[in-house]
Every structure is written in C-alpha cells, then in structure tokens.
C-alpha cells in the first residue's frame, strides 16, 4: 500500500493527501498550512456539500449518477441521514488565490496573453534567441 502525495500551489510542498485539497471555486491545490482566515472548526476547512438525505430521492439519484455508492446490494444505506458522503473541496473563503493574497501566475499569464493578443510562440523564440 503506497502513500499519495499532493502538491500545494501556494508553498510548493508535497504533502500527504489528507493535508491537501482543492478550492471549490478556483480549483487550486492547497495544503492546510497555507489556508487563510484559520477561524474554522474543521481542521481541513472543507466545504461539505454532499450529505446523505434519504428523504430527497432527486438528490440521492444525483449522487448515484456522480458515482457515489450509497446503498449495499440489498438496499441498505451505507450512511445515516445528514452524514457527510464526501467533502466537495476547500471553501473559497480560506483560499489565498480567491482572496487576492496570492497571485495565480498561470491564470494571470493566460489573461495577459489573451488581453494583449500576444503570440506566445513568437515570444518564446525571442527568449530562446537571447540565451
């Protein structure tokens, strides 16, 4: 059994999977050490969007369509009502990219290229010539 490591876009460190999640708004990978506004009760600052609700058949169908296994073969639910099925990422209020404390350089690069209609192949050739 191996251990999975995930990259934090803020500090650049690779950490165990339980210490890195994705922002539910921008999608950047963040470790729990780099989150902002650490006033949360949950140590991972996850935004829990998926909760089991046996009285809501439309929601249960949606979860099953997304691949969540909710019932065993005889129809017995794996979860109690209100129990968290899965977290849906780190809440954006804890994300340094969403708050503006950290710049997403890749996103900024794409924006500048599009805004100023820059030919990146031409620019890259110029960079290579100058070296």
Q: How many domains does the chain have?
A: 1
pLDDT reported for residue 91: 79
pLDDT in tens, 30-83: 888 888 876 555 555 555 557 788 898 888 888 788 777 888 889 888 888 888
pTM, whole model, 2 decimals?
Answer: 0.59
What is d(CA 81, CA 94) in angstroms, rounded to the nearest whole number? Answer: 28
Q: Is residue 77 situated within a structural domain? A: yes
Q: Residue 69 belongs to what domain range?
A: 50-85
Q: Is residue 61 part of a domain?
A: yes
* Whether the Cβ atoms of residue 31 and residue 11 lie closer than 8 Å to each other: yes
User: Can you spell out the DSSP letters for 89-123?
Assistant: -B-GGG-HHHHTSS--HHHHHHHHHHHTT--HHHH
Lookup: tokens for 104? 């997403």
Token duo for residue 53: 């609700």
With respect to residue 72, please indicate whether it lies within any of the assigned structural domains: yes
The pair of three-digit structure tokens given for residue 108, joined into one six-digit string: 């900024």
Position 100 in a domain: no
Nearest CA to 25 out of 108, 99, 106 is that of 99
Q: Is residue 65 a part of any domain in this protein?
A: yes
* Average pLDDT rounded to a whole number, residues 8-26: 84
- Answer yes or no: is 19 within a domain: no
In a domain? residue 33: no
């Amino acid at each position: 059994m191996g251990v999975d490591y995930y990259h934090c876009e803020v500090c650049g460190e690779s950490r165990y999977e339980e210490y890195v999640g994705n922002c539910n708004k921008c999608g950047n990978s963040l470790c729990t050490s780099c989150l902002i506004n650490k006033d949360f009760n949950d140590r991972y600052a996850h935004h829990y969007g998926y909760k089991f609700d046996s009285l809501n058949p439309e929601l249960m169908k949606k979860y099953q369509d997304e691949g969540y296994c909710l019932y065993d073969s005889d129809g017995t639910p794996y979860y109690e009502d209100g129990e968290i099925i899965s977290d849906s990422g780190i809440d954006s209020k804890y994300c340094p990219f969403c708050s503006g404390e950290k710049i997403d350089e890749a996103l900024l690069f794409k924006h500048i290229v599009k805004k100023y209609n820059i030919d990146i192949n031409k620019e890259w050739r110029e960079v290579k010539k100058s070296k």
